[in-house]
Amino acid sequence: MSWLVTLLILYIIWDVNYFIRCVFTVFAGRLFQKKRKITDKTSIYSICTSQDVDIFIRHMNNARYVRELDFARFHYYALTGLYEEIRNGGGGAVQGASSVRYRRTIPIFHPYRIETKLVWWDEKAIYIEQQFITLADNFVRAVALSKQCITKVNVMEIMKKFPEGANRPEMPEEFRLWLEAIEVSSQKLRKDN
């Protein structure tokens, strides 16, 4: 009976399902999938359940998209070994910015995949694009741009440890414009403070 009370307390204090899913996603990827290059796309699969829907119980809640992106990023880091190299260098990763463009909803009980792809990097961050794609019609339901700030290490040096990271690709136009918008916002906040 005490284990039941302990479990109940854990569920009240922490989002236990989140941590279980993180561990499952990383270890399942490492155990059952082959290692990928940092420039390869990675995919995770899921389904929109009753815990994911909005108040109208028809489609995925906007906040759930962002949560699902975490799992896909952890999976990407695990399969490519990028996070391991960052940690070996004494660094870490933290979400610096993200933008999600919703194109069409993901209906309840519909399976989907999230594709994660590294698109660019600089000295302090990596930039990834993630897409939600429903399996029934292969339609891109949402697109997320993400800036992962890498702490305490030079990203350019980390990338050189991967053969495919020797040559940085051109920055896509949508990322350039997005980063400019972030900088404008930062400048405004600096003036206001």
The DSSP-derived string for 174-192 is: HHHHHHHHHHHHHHHHHHH
Residue 138 region, left (φ>0) first, then alpha (ψ -120 to 50), else beta?
A: left
H helix or E strand, kind and range, residue 44:
strand 42-47
CB contact at 8 A, 109 and 48 = yes
Question: Does residue 1 register a pLDDT over 80?
Answer: no
Residue range 19-69, pLDDT digits in tens: 999 999 999 999 999 999 999 999 999 999 999 999 999 999 999 999 999
CATH of 35-179 given 3.40.30.10, 3.40.50.1000, 3.40.220.10, 3.10.129.10: 3.10.129.10
Give the separation between CA 139 and CA 176, rounded to whole angstroms: 25
List beta partners, residue 175. Answer: none
CB contact at 8 A, 80 and 161 = no
Residue range 166-179, pLDDT digits in tens: 999 999 999 999 99
Domain boundaries, the chain: 35-179
